Chains A and B, each alone.
Chain A
Amino acid sequence: MSATTVIGVEGEERGDFSEEESRQIRRRSLRLLGSLLRPLRGRVAFALAVIVVSTLAQVVGPTLIGIGVDQGIASLTSQNWWPIAATGAAYLVTGVIGAVTVSWYTVMSARISQAILFDLRKRVFLHTQRLSLEFHESYTSGRIISRQTSDLDAIRELLDSGINQLVQGVLYSGFIAVFMFINDWVSGVILFCSLVPLYFLTRWFQKRSQLLFRRSRVASAKLIVHFVETMTGIRAVKAFRKEHRNENEFGDLVEDYRDVNAKTIQLFGIFDPGLVMIGNVTVAVVLLVGGYRVALGALPIGVLLAVLLYTRRFFDPMEEMAMFYNSYQSAAAALEKISGVLEEEPSVPDPEHPVELGRASGHVRFEGVSFAYKQDRVILPRFSLDVPAGQTIALVGSTGAGKSTLAKLIARFYDPTEGRITLDGVSLRDLRPEDLRRAIVMVTQEAYLFSGTVADNIALGKPDATAEEIRAAAVAVGADGFIRGLPDGYDTDVNKRGGRVSAGQRQLISFARAFLANPAVLILDEATSSLDIPSERLVQDALQTLLKDRTALIIAHRLSTVAIADRVLVMEHGRVVEDGSPGELIAGTGRFAQLHAAWRDSLV
C-alpha cells in the first residue's frame, strides 16, 4: 500500500484529498449506505408516503384561512353559517391528520434509523474483531474506538433529526410553493425570486462550515486526548512537575477549540439573520404587490392573508435545513471513515473451505516459513521447525529477537509471508476457526480483564463452564486463595471498588482462563512476568501437571521457567540459533550456556 492511496483507513488523517480520491471515498460510503438501506426499502417507501400526506395536511391551513375569510365573512352577513363552519371543520380535520401522521412518522423513522444503526454497529463490531492484530497494532485503539462511538453518534444524530428535518423541510417548502401558485401565481413568482439569494447564502454557508467543522473535530480530538492522557498519567504528571507546562499546553488547545467554535458560531450568526432578512424582504414585496392589487380590487383579502402566512412559513424549515448540513457533514465524514475501516481486508482471513479437526493432538510444524511486516522489514527469515505433540518448548532470546512473533504465528494472529504452519498436518489457513481456537490458546503478558465478575472472566476460556469447573481451574493455578479473599469472592466485579486486582493477580486469572480452555497447544508469552516469586513458584508447579500431555511454547524472561521445558530454542535476530534440551545447552558453550551462567550468578 503506497502512502498516496485512500483505500481502507489509509490517508484518513489527511485533509487534502484530490478530486479523484474524494470521489473514491464518497463512492465507498455511498455503497455502504446503499447496503444498509436496501433491506429497509419497503419501510422507507411507506414512511415517505406517510410524510407526504402529513406535510400536505399541514400546508393546507393558510389556504383554508383565506377561504374562510373571503367566503365566510360574506356568507355570515347573510346569516349563512355553512361556509365558515365547513372551512373551520376542514381546518380542524387537516390539523388532526397532520399532527397524528407526524407523530406516526416520528416513530416509524426512529424504527428505521435504529435498524440502520443496529446493523451498522454490528457490522463494525464484527469487522473490528475479524481484522487481524497487525491492523490493530498500527491503527491505535483510540481510533478504532472512536469509529464505533463518536462516529456512530454523528450518524445517529443525522438519522435522528437531520434526515427528518431535510425530508420534512423539503416537502414543506415544496408544498408551500405549490399552494402559493394555486392561491396567487404572482406571489408565487416573487417567492421563486427569493430562491436566488437563498441559494447563494446557503452555498456560502455550506463551504465555510465544511472547513470549520473539520477544524472543530480536529481541535476537540486533540483536547480530549491531552485531557485523558493527563488524567490517566496523573502520577507521572505530579512526579515530574508537569502541571504548569501542561496548563500552558492545555490552555493553547482550549484556545484553539474556542477559536474554531467561536468562528462556527459567527458563521451561524450571519447565516441565521441572513435567512430572516431574505424572508422579511420577501414578505414585504409580497405585501407590496398583493396589497396594491387588493386595493385595486384585483385580489381578495383572504388570499393575501394566505400568501403572507405561506411566505413567512416558507422560510421556517430553512434554519433546520441549514442544521441538516451541519449534521450531514459530520455524519458524512464519519461514514467515510467507517467505510474505510470496513474496507480493510483482514490479513488473516477465515478459510473458504474450512477443514474440520476433531480432537487435536498438538503436532505443530513450520514449513519454510518467513515473516515480514512490510517487504523491507523481515522479522523472521525463512525457517522450518517441527514440534512433536506433547513437547514443552522454552523460547529464549533478547527483546526483538522475534520470539513473540513466532508465538503469534502459531496462534494465527498473523499469517506467515511465505510457507505454512500446520497443526496435525492441516495448514492453519485452512483450519476451521472454531477448531483452531479450541486447539491453540495463547496467554499474553497484558492479562486483560473484561468488566464482570472474576468468574465471568475465567469462564471466557469455556463459556459453558460450571461454577465447580471455574473453581477447579483457579485452584489448579493457585489463584483460588486470593480470589476467595476478595469482597465477593468469585462474584467480585473486577472494575468496582474493592475489586482492585494487581497485575500479578490479573495474570493468575488469565492463567485460570487458559487452564479452563484446555487446549492441545498452549502458548505462554511472558505470562508470569508480574507474579511475585512465591506465586510464580505455584504457577510453575501447576504448569508441570498442566503441560504434561499438551504441546506448549513458553516465552519467559526468567530462566527459571526453562527448567520445566523439554527443549529450548534460543533466538537471535529472528533466527533460531540454538536448539536442544536444557541440559545439553547448559553443558555447551553457546549463548544459552552464557545466559544461564549469568543468571546463576545473579541469584548469589
Chain B
Amino acid sequence: MSAAEAPVNQAPVSPAPQTRPPGSAATSDRRPSTFRSLARIYPFARPAMPRIYLGMVAAIGASIVALLIPIVLQGLVDGPMGHGDPAQVVPSALLVLILGAAEAVLISLRRWFVLTPATKVEADLRNAFYAKLQALPVSFHDGWPSGQLLSRAVSDLNLIRRWLSFGFVLLFVNILTIMIGFVVLITWNWLLAVIFMACSVPLWVYGYVFESRYSVIARRSQDQAGDLATSVEESVHGIRVLKAFGRGRHALRNFERQAEDLRGTEIAKAKAIAGIWLWLLLVPDVAFAICLVVGVWLVSTGSLTAGQLLAFFATATVLRFPIESIGFLLSMTFDTRTAADRFFDVMNTPNTIRDPEHPKTIADPRGRLVFRDVHFRYADTPEGHPDLLNGVDLELRPGETMALVGLTGSGKSTLTALTTRLYDVTGGSITLDGVDIRDLTLSELRTHVAMAFEDATLFSASVRDNVLLGRPDLVGDDPDAVAKADAVLAEALDVAQAGFAYDLPDGVDTRVGEEGLSLSGGQRQRIALARAVAASPEVLVLDDPLSALDTTTEVLVESALRRVLAATTALVVAHRPSTVTLADRVALLEDGRVTAVGTHSELLAGNDHYRFVISSLEDDEQGERDATAFSGGTAASEPRGEGRRS
C-alpha cells in the first residue's frame, strides 16, 4: 500500500469488506500480547491522547443521538399519528431534525478532535525511525534491504496512525453502541431483541474465521506482488543485458508466469470476500425476515405497538454497521500490532557504534593513523572461517600516502571502512594521533578522516552541495563564506578533474542523483573524489576511487592528487600499478594481514605475491606462461610456483 493511498483508507468507514487492509490477523506466534505490543506506541501517542479521548466521547455522543431518533419515531407513531393529531407531528419531526443535525456535528467533532493530532504522532514516529536508522551502523544496513525499511517507514506507520485515530476509537465506540442498542431493543421487546442479536452471532464467528483465512491469502498476494515488483525492477535495471542478449521475451515469460500466479491469488481473495459478503447480506436479511413475521404477530396480539415495531427496524438499521464492523476493526488491530512489532524491531536494535561516554579530543591533529593487531569478521561469517582481517599491523606517518594492495576479497575495502568506524574492529585497535578512534566522537573522527568509495553515491542535490557535503562550515549567505565555498569547490573539482561540472545545464548548481541528471560512472567517481578532497581532512581514505576513469584522466587526477596529498595522510586502495605510483609506500594485504610494506619498486623486486597481484601482462609475460598451467584455474588462488611468504 503506497503512502499516496493513505487518504483512501482515511475515508469514512465502509462496511464493505473489500476496504479492509490486507495483512496478518491473528498470527500464530504469540510474542508479547497484542495489548502490550500496542501499548509501546503510547509514549509517542501521549500528546495526542487527550484529543483522542475527546474524539471517543464525541463518537459515543453521535451513536447515542443516532439511537435516540428511533425512540422519537416510536413516540410519534404511537402518539400523534395513532391519534390522528397532525398538529403534534411537527414538534416530533423538528426533534428528529435537531437530533440529526447533532449527529452530523458530533461526527465532525470526532474527526476534528482525532485526526490532526494523529498525523503529528505519525510524523514523530517517522522522524524517530529515520533518525534511528541513520544512527544504526552499516552492518545493520547490510542485512536490511532499503525496501523493507521503506515499507516500515511508510505503510506501517500509516497503519498505526489510522488505527490510532480510527480503529482504536471505533472499536470502543461500536462495542458500546451495540450494547446500548441491545438494551434499547430489549426495552421494547425481549423476543425481537434476542432474535436479532442471536442472528448477529454467526456474523462474528464467520467474521473471525474469514479474517484468519483471508489474511493468509492476503499475505500470499502481497508476497507475489512483491516478487512481481522485483521482476519489474530487474527488467528495468538489467535492461542493457536483456537487450544485449535479446532476452526480452524470456523475461516476459517469467513475468507472465508470476503475473498469472498473482492473478490466481487475487481471484482466490475475491472468492473469500464473496463468502463474507454472502454472510454479511444474508444474515441480517434472515434476521429482518424473522423479525418482520414475529413483530407483526406481536403487534396483532397487542404485546407490541406499531410504533415500537417501526422503531425496532430503525434501530436495527442503525446497529447494522457497528455489528458488521467488529470483525474488520479487530483485524485492523491485529495488523497494527504486526506493524508496531515491525517498527519496534528496528527501534529496539541496539546501536553498537556510538559516541563514547567520555569522548576524548585531538587538540592538534597531525594525521598519524596506526592499526595495531586489527581483527575483523562479518557477523554472518560461518564458524570455522578465519577472520577476514586477522591481525593487521600498519602505521601511516603524518603526511604519508600509503597504497593498499591485495587480491579481490582480501579485505582492502573493509580495512578502509574501519578507519571511520563504518564498522568497528572485532579485535585490536586503530588510533589516530595516539587516540583510539573509539574514544573520539563519531563526528570528530569523521571530520579528521574523509572517504571516497569505489561505488560513488551522489545525493539528490546540486553538484555544489554534493562536493561541499563534508564542509558544513561553508554553508551560509555571508559573502565571505560564499567566496570561500566557491574557492574550495573550484579547487576540489580541479583536483578530481571534474571540470565537466561547469558545463552541465546549470553548471555546478545542476541537480544530480536519483532525482536529477544521471551522470556516467566515471563522472560520479570524480565528483565523489572532489567531495573527499573538499572535506580537507587530516586523513584521506580512497577506496579505489579511480576505477571508472580512463587512462588519460587518471593520469591527470593522479598528478593533481599528489599535490593535495603532500600535506595529507592518505590510505589508497589500488588495483593498478599507475595508482600505486601515487604512494610513498605500499602495504600488501594477504591472508588477512599486512605481509609487506615498502616502496613500489622494493616490493616489485623482492616480493613474489606483490608481483603476482600488481604487475601487468607484459611485465611477467614469460613468468606467466610458465605458471599458466593454472592447475586449479581459479582467479583467487595463485598459480603454482609462486612461493608464499609467510
Contact = CB atoms under 8 A, between A and B. Distances in A.
Contact of B96 (A262, A283, A517, A532): A283
Given A118-B259, A529-B548, A238 B446 contact: yes
Nearest to A481: B634
A533 B628 contact: no
A87 interface: yes
Contact of B126 (A233, A254, A304, A438): A254
A206 to B, nearest CB: 13
A296 interface: yes
A283 B548 CA distance: 75
Given A283-B96, A563-B617, A240 B581 contact: no
Contacts of B107: 272-273, 276
A241 B385 CA distance: 34
A231 B141 CA distance: 7
Nearest to B307: A301
A65 B422 contact: no
A415 B146 CA distance: 37
Contacts of A441: 244-245
Contact of A305 (B103, B310, B615, B637): B310
Interface stretch (A24-32, A156-164, A419-427): A156-164
A148 to B, nearest CB: 4
B267 A604 contact: no
A417 interface: no
Contact of B472 (A104, A245, A482, A537): A245
A229 interface: yes
Interface in A314-372: 319-320, 322-323, 326-327, 330
B11 A538 contact: no
B635 A558 contact: no
Interface string B263-275: 1001101110111
Contacts of A92: 285-286, 289
B380 A292 contact: no
Nearest to B551: A557
Contacts of B154: 220, 223-224, 227
Given A106-B273, A291-B93, A224 B84 contact: no
B39 interface: no
B618 interface: yes
B77 to A, nearest CB: 7
Contacts of B242: 129
Most buried by A among B86, B285, B306, B600: B285
A270 B89 contact: no
A540 B618 CA distance: 12
Contacts of A281: 97, 100-101
**B interface: dominant SS:** helix
B259 A122 contact: yes
A114 B263 contact: yes
A315 B348 CA distance: 47
Most buried by A among B69, B248, B550, B578: B550
Most buried by B among A144, A154, A283, A297: A283
Nearest to B497: A399
Interface string B51-88: 00000000000000000010001001100110111101
Contacts of B1: 153
Interface stretch (B202-210, B227-235, B333-341, B362-370): B227-235
A131 to B, nearest CB: 9
A530 B146 CA distance: 25
B239 A436 contact: no
Interface string B400-412: 0000000111000
A385 interface: no
A107 B270 contact: yes
A289 to B, nearest CB: 8
Contact of B457 (A109, A236, A445): A236
A111 B613 contact: no
A201 to B, nearest CB: 12
Question: Interface range on chain A: under 10, 10 to 19, 20 to 34, or 35 or more?
Answer: 35 or more
A283 B100 contact: yes
B614 interface: yes
A87 B12 CA distance: 35
B408 A505 contact: yes
Given A254-B127, A442-B244, A533 B256 contact: no
B31 interface: no
Contacts of A109: 270
Contacts of B218: none
Given A231-B133, A510-B241, A532-B408, A157 B5 contact: yes
B251 to A, nearest CB: 7
Contact of A280 (B101, B575, B618): B101
A353 to B, nearest CB: 19
B11 A319 contact: yes
Interface in A507-534: 508, 510, 513, 517, 526, 529-534
Contacts of B101: 277, 280-281
A292 B119 contact: no
Given A148-B232, A281-B101, A451-B230, A560 B618 contact: yes
Contact of B300 (A77, A217, A237, A560): A77
A448 interface: yes
Nearest to A223: B3
Interface in A59-79: 61, 64-65, 68-69, 72-73, 76-77
Contacts of A61: 285, 288
A74 B81 CA distance: 17
B293 A436 contact: no
Nearest to A318: B12
Interface stretch (B181-189, B323-331, B485-493, B518-526): B518-526
Nearest to B604: A604
A99 B131 contact: no
A121 B4 CA distance: 20
Most buried by B among A265, A270, A531, A563: A265
A581 interface: no
Contact of A450 (B238, B317, B443, B450): B238
Given A140-B518, A532-B613, A398 B260 contact: no
Most buried by B among A69, A136, A285: A69
A534 B10 contact: no
Given A129-B235, A276-B107, A460-B245, A502 B408 contact: yes
Contact of B460 (A229, A268, A288): A229
A513 B245 CA distance: 9
Nearest to B133: A231
Nearest to A293: B86
Interface stretch (A1-9, A182-190, A595-603): A595-603
A592 to B, nearest CB: 11
B296 interface: yes
B134 A241 contact: no
25 contacts: A76-B296, A87-B292, A95-B285, A100-B278, A111-B267, A118-B259, A126-B252, A129-B235, A223-B154, A235-B422, A236-B469, A258-B123, A266-B116, A280-B99, A287-B96, A288-B94, A292-B89, A438-B246, A444-B241, A445-B548, A481-B632, A497-B380, A498-B380, A530-B547, A535-B408
**7 nearest A-B pairs in the assembled complex, by CB-CB distance:** A481-B634, A437-B246, A280-B100, A95-B285, A110-B270, A76-B300, A288-B93
Given A264-B6, A595-B552, 18 more contacts: A65-B292, A84-B292, A114-B267, A118-B259, A125-B235, A129-B239, A129-B251, A140-B518, A236-B451, A238-B420, A241-B442, A258-B122, A268-B10, A287-B96, A320-B14, A444-B241, A445-B521, A604-B581
